[in-house]
Amino acid sequence: MSLHGQLSTLATSDLLIQAKKSTLHTAIRPDIIMERGSGLYVWDTEGKAYLDFIGGWAVNALGHSPAVISEALNEQAARLVNSSPSFYNKPMVEFARLLTEITCFDKVFFTSSGAEANESAIKLARKHGSKNLGSAYEIITLVNGFHGRTLAAMSATGKKQWQLLFEPKVSGFKHVPINDAEALNHAINENTCAVMLELVQGEGGVHSVDADYLKLVRKACDDHGLMLIIDEIQTGIGRTGKMFAYEHYGILADVMTLGKGIGGGFPLAAMLTTETFDIFDAGDQGGTYSGQPLAMAVGLAVVNEVIQRNLPLHAEIQGEYIQERLHQISPIFQLSRIRGKGLLLAFDLPSDKGAELVAECLKEGLLINSPNPNTIRLMPPLVVTKDEIDQMILLLCHALNRVLTN
Ligand SMILES: *Cc1c(COP(=O)(O)O)cnc(C)c1O
């Protein structure tokens, strides 16, 4: 019998013992084991259902285990699983073409994770600095921004809790507060080669950049010849009610990174840029799984589905409905600062009870996220329905009742 077969006959309690014994402790996880999913729901090994408003961490754009993904995987797996990154393959070409058609960018480089896509952007920015800006190498990013967990992406990330971790960091990153044009202009000097930011900070607690600010960032980049990099790993592929968050702003960037929703749950990410910044030389960047056929087939199927079902519009409409429902219950529980775009939403609690509320919601069978001690973030699959939103509000109210009246 295979090891998988042996384990699958174990009781949940034994699986949990095995999990703690054999996996590296990198996250605090509750004592449940997820087993299957469908649509907005995921079930654990005890058969308990959870309504998923974390959406696989803003990843499962089409919900859990959608048929389009299993069909694309099956079809491609039978045809070609891997041909090495040194050859083009058919779904890679088709997918790159689709992405250049639906964005303002001309060129795509594929990776498996968001952090790698941002690494690619950081390397491209440094290439630009060394080629065009007299060896400038510094990248300005935002306080509370999040760009991933590789060492360079961590160094780009403006998270306070990470400031002293894994020193020395990759040098060459400067963090400035969001929506502060003066701080940005002050930070630019002859060493600067790029500005990198999220249009809506996801992990930071759902904070949007202002349109006026972004206009000034674009102007500063133009004035100094800097590359403007937007990290749309969380906001891209319909999440904010537009296909890409930059469509809310009417500003064009030089580089965009995508991840999360682009694979609908399959590990896939991408860096896109313009003809102007097609400046890597062969060998500058690569990766064993860059353009991996299975990932390409899934990405192609997911993005086509998002387009065909007009899920960005659906996300906008459902997002407005969630905000409306949250406003209805906010006076009862003193919820404040209901914010966000499309289906990337957050609100603040009257006290630092985020973790407690997440735990109570889990008991209720509802998955939500607390990025900061007093903040709750919602990022359900783009296919969420009004009934599911009503159900979420009901479960949330039960949990809020218990947590906030204690
Ligand atoms: C999740 C995320 C990343 C990192 O993506 P990984 O796939 O976890 O490496 C980077 N930037 C933003 C904005 C993200 O939300």
Q: What are the structural domains of the chain?
A: 29-58+311-388+395-404 (3.90.1150.10), 68-308 (3.40.640.10)
Sign of the alpha-carbon dihedral angle for 129, 130, 136, 140: positive
In the prediction, which pLDDT does 9 show?
80
Q: Which residues line ligand 1 (CB under 6 A)?
A: 113-115, 118, 146-148, 198, 202-203, 231, 233-234, 259-260, 269
CA 137 to chain centre: 26
Atom of ligand 1 nearest to the CA of 234: 15
- pTM confidence score: 0.97
Closest residue by CA, ligand 1 atom 5: 114
pLDDT single digits (tens) 187-198: 999 999 999 999
Dist. CA 118 → ligand 1 center (Å): 8
Dist. CA 93 → ligand 1 center (Å): 24
pLDDT single digits (tens) 140-166: 999 999 999 999 999 999 888 888 889
Dist. CA 135 → ligand 1 center (Å): 28
Residue at 229: amino acid letter? I
pLDDT single digits (tens) 276-297: 999 999 999 999 999 999 999 9
Q: What is the number of other CB atoms lying within 10 angstroms of the CB of residue 198?
A: 26
Dist. CA 113 → ligand 1 center (Å): 7
CA 165 to chain centre: 22
Average pLDDT over residues 206-217: 98
Residue 2 confidence (pLDDT) above 60: no
Q: How confident is the model at residue 1 (pLDDT cuts 50, 70, 90)?
A: very low
CA angle in degrees (0–180, nearest 5) for 284-287-288: 145
Atom of ligand 1 nearest to the CA of 57: 1
Closest residue by CA, ligand 1 atom 11: 147
In the prediction, which pLDDT does 303 show?
98
380 touches 53 (CB < 8 A):
yes
Q: How confident is the model at residue 4 (pLDDT cuts 50, 70, 90)?
A: low
Average pLDDT over residues 366-395: 98
CA 241 to chain centre: 15
Main-chain dihedrals φ then ψ at residue 376, nearest 5 degrees: -115, 135
- Nearest of 91, 101, 12, 107 to residue 296 by alpha carbon: 91
